[in-house]
Amino acid sequence: MTPYSNYLTFNREQWAALRNKTPLLLLEEELETIKGLNDKLSLEEVERIYLPLIRLIKMRVQASAQLQGATDAFLDYQSDKKPFIIGLAGSVAAGKSTTARVLQTLLSRGEGHPKVEVVTTDGFLFDKKTLEQRQLMNRKGFPESYDSRKLIDFMRQVKAGVSSVEAPIYSHITYDIIPDQVDVISQPDIVIVEGINVLQVDKSRHVFVSDFFDFSIFLDAEEQDLKHWYIERFLLLQRTAFQNPLSYFHRYITLSQEEAIQKASEIWDTINAVNLKENILPTRRRANIILKKGETHRIEKVLYKKF
């Protein structure tokens, strides 16, 4: 079997043609507030890539609701309202947070104005104290650094239509879970679950996070581009967020640019690149859609899984 033979591959023009008449319900100034740190995203990219994707997702949402209705009719049973769950995976620095916010904004402005929530799996990392006790600080983001049982329980409740479900909150300043604070997910129509390992299959468990997904997306890029974006982001954070005395990375603010590049490169090579190769890339083939970025962050190809 050739690589990705079970996917249909579209270039930008071919994919853009599938937009049909999906309206662009987003202004330039709004896009600026959605974009993540160092992310490059234009309205042209939204029109060509995200609007066809929004059209596809809406069709999947409608089909899922129709299937549930038919199943309920067959069983003579009225099930609780269940949200449509989208998994969004990809490497560190791939731009997952920006993609999640764009999808959330566009989907929520569709017909009926569905309630769309974004949940990041960062909140389900073990807290810093636990990671230190288990000697996992240098494995943060690897599958073993997450409280998988807690995450699975959360997903089970959300998928079951529980009226109010709590998600822990992670701080990128303190590099830790924020104690006694939660996001409350209350009967959404659509939930976007974003994280580097959301498509991971854990052989020690019988239930996976991805079992709860109705649709999944993998944000892909070449490793050299991901590393370059990571270093760029590190340098930008050094001048901004790292300046906060509470920042876990505050100790890096006195590094020269050359030293900062060396430190960021070291972190990438010893942690992020290892996780990418061992855990993240092997899950790519499990996604329904693969969005392949080029070196300028522009999505150059879209792969759609046929089976």
Q: How far apart are CA 172 and CA 180, in angstroms?
A: 16
pLDDT tens for residues 241-268? 999 999 999 999 999 999 999 999 999 9
Name the E strands within the chain.
7-11, 84-90, 116-120, 165-171, 176-185, 190-194, 215-220, 289-293, 299-305
Mean pLDDT over 87-116 rounds to: 95
Kindly list the domain boundaries of the chain, sorted by start residue.
Answer: 7-305
pLDDT given at position 1: 41
In sequence order, the 6+-apart residues with CB closer than 8 A to the CB of 121 are 146, 151, 193, 194, 195, 196, 197, 198, 209
The per-residue pLDDT for range 61-91, each reduced to its tens digit, is 999 999 999 999 999 998 888 999 999 999 9
Q: What is the pLDDT of residues 262-286, one digit of tens each?
A: 999 999 999 999 999 999 999 999 9
Task: Look at residues 224, 219, 192 and name the one whose alpha carbon lies nearest to residue 291.
Answer: 219
Residues 305 and 149: their CA atoms lie apart, in Å, by 29
Question: How would you list the strands of the sheet with 116-120, edge to edge?
Answer: 7-11, 299-305, 289-293, 215-220, 84-90, 190-194, 116-120
pTM: 0.95
Evaluate if residue 39 carries a pLDDT over 90. Answer: no
Helix locations, 128-282, DSSP H: 128-133, 148-159, 223-239, 257-267, 273-275
Percentage, residues of the chain above pLDDT 70: 99
7-305: CATH topology is Rossmann fold (3.40.50)
pLDDT, residue 288, reads: 98
Q: What is the mean pLDDT of the chain?
A: 94
pLDDT digits (tens, 9 = 90+) for 6-31: 999 999 999 999 999 999 999 999 99
Taking a C-beta distance cutoff of 8 angstroms, is the pair 286, 199 a contact?
Answer: yes
Closest CA to 278 of 195, 200, 194: 200
Residues whose CB falls within 8 Å of the CB of residue 66, separated by 6 or more in sequence, listed in order: none
- The answer, yes or no, to whether residue 235 has pLDDT greater than 90, is yes
| Euclidean distance between CA atoms 9 and 19, whole angstroms | 16
pLDDT category, 54, cuts 50, 70, 90?
A: very high
Lowest mean pLDDT among 178-187, 198-207, 216-225: 198-207
User: Residue 256: helix, strand or coil by DSSP?
Assistant: coil
